Every structure is written in structure tokens, then in C-alpha cells.
Amino acid sequence: MRYLDKLAHVDRRVYNIESWLPFSSEERTKLAIYKAFQEIVEALFDMVAMKLVDLRVPPKDDYTNLAELGGRSLLSEEMLSCLREANGLRNRLVHSYNLISDELALKSLELLLPELKEVRRRLETWI
């Protein structure tokens, strides 16, 4: 059930971002997009940790958890790379709002979103 809750949350936030992107020049909308992206990444990494628990592997930090899944061939290298990049962007958005180029952040987010949707579809097969 928790997997389904996480997937539904990802779906809601993806829909939000896709509907807000045309208006990303507005400060409020830009910040809402950043928050929705943060929630997508966190939900996907929650699912990664949940899968490790299911496998009786103690979850650790996000990057170690990805390495554990990669070592078990549960995600492709492309998906692992996408999640690493998304987590890095999430960290920059959360911890450095004033030091990141909004143009670059939004462009990166737009490029990552379709890949994250693919990751989401793959994680759904774990249920």
C-alpha cells in the first residue's frame, strides 16, 4: 500500500509541474515547481529504501541505496544515473535557492522529468 501511495504522490506532483512549467517565470510558481520536484525525488528515494527493506538490506544514504539496487540489477544504469542527477538537483534546490541559476535549474528539471517518469514506471513493477 505504501508503494501505491508514493506512486500516486509522484503522479500528482508530475502533473503539477507539467501544468505549471509554462508559468515558471513567476516567483511563486517557480518555487512551487521546485517544491514539487523535491517531493518527487524524495518519494522515489523512499521507494528505493522500501525495496531494500523488502530485500532485507538495511537502507543507508541515497547514493549507497542506489548502488545496492544497481548491484542487484534492479534498475538500469541510465535510471540510476537519472536518480543521482535528480537527487543532486534536489539538494541544490533545497539548500541553495539563492546560489543556483533558475534558468539552469528549470532546464535541468524539464530534462529530468521524462526520465523520472520512466523510473516511476519501473518502480511500479516492484509492487
Query: What confidence tier does 24 reach under pLDDT thresholds 50, 70, 90?
Result: confident
* Greatest distance between any 2 Cα atoms in the chain: 45
For range 7-24, the mean pLDDT = 96
Please enumerate in sequence order all residues whose Cβ is within 8 A of that of 86, keeping only pairs 6 or more positions apart, or say none: 37, 40, 41, 44, 112, 115, 116
Residue 94 has pLDDT above 90, yes or no: no
CB atoms within 10 A of CB 101: 9
Query: What confidence tier does 95 reach under pLDDT thresholds 50, 70, 90?
Result: confident
| pLDDT tens per residue across span 97-115 | 567 788 899 999 999 999 9
Cα 44 from Cα 14, distance rounded (Å):
12
At 98 the pLDDT is 61
| pLDDT tens per residue across span 34-92 | 999 999 999 999 999 999 999 999 999 999 999 999 999 999 999 999 999 999 999 98
- pTM of the complete model: 0.94
Domains and CATH numbers, the chain: 2-124 (1.20.120.580)
Rounded (10°) angle between helices 102-124 and 27-54? 30
At 69 the pLDDT is 94
3-state secondary structure at position 61: coil
Where does residue 123 rank: exposed (0-12), middle (13-18), buried (19+ CB within 10 A)? Answer: buried
